[in-house]
Amino acid sequence: MAKKNEPVTGKRKEAVAKAFIKKGKGMIKINNVPLENLNPEMTRLMIKEPLIIAGDLSKKVDIDIRVKGGGVVGQAEAVRQAIALALVDFGGKKYKKIFEDYDRHLLVKDSRRTEPHKPSRSSSGPRRHKQRSKR
């Protein structure tokens, strides 16, 4: 996948996360904030998922993640994907099979995007008009 010292990218909706992985003691930082200090707790647990699945490998590496764009959950899912891809990149094909069996979205980007607005209704969205009463 990525070459030495190149970031691995995770994407979800408008959020983009870049993960830098190196040998270390298991420190995970997201925008220079340790994972343990991250709130809300639900997003912290989502982000920890690939680390728990990887087991011992996650204790042998330090991962620094930069994330921007999107909302809280979109960023959490982008970070989760970036961590999984970085661990596969660092640990080898054995981890790719483990992550695919657990949840394919840990490794594959979600291609869904919002539908473009249509002409004559461009400010209110792509779908049909509101129903109008004639009387």
- What is the distance, to the nearest Å, from the Cα of residue 33 to the centroid of all Cα atoms in its chain? 16
Token reading at 125: 């969205």
Assess if residue 112 is contained within a domain.
no
At 109, which amino acid appears? K
Write the CATH number for 74. Answer: 3.30.230.10
* Domain residue limits at 18: 8-104
Assess if residue 111 is contained within a domain.
no
What are the start-end ranges of the H helices in 56-116? Answer: 72-91, 93-102
Assess if residue 2 is contained within a domain.
no
Assess if residue 38 is contained within a domain.
yes
Instruction: Give the Cα separation of 113 and 124 in Å (integer).
Output: 17
Where does the pLDDT of residue 81 fall: very low under 50, low under 70, confident under 90, or very high at 90 and above? Answer: very high
Give the pLDDT mean for 109-132.
79
Task: Dump pLDDT digits (tens) for 45-77.
Answer: 999 999 998 888 888 899 999 999 999 999 999
Assess if residue 56 is contained within a domain.
yes
Bridge-based pairing of strands 33-34 and 15-23 is unpaired
Looking at the structure of the chain, the number of domains it has is: 1
**How large is the C-alpha radius of gyration of the chain?**
19
pLDDT at 119 over 60: yes
Assess if residue 3 is contained within a domain.
no
Residue entry with tokens 């909706």? 13
Grouping H, G, I as helix, E, B as strand and the rest as coil, residue 17 is strand
Assess if residue 129 is contained within a domain.
no
Assess if residue 35 is contained within a domain.
yes
**Any bridge partners for residue 17, and if so which?**
10, 67
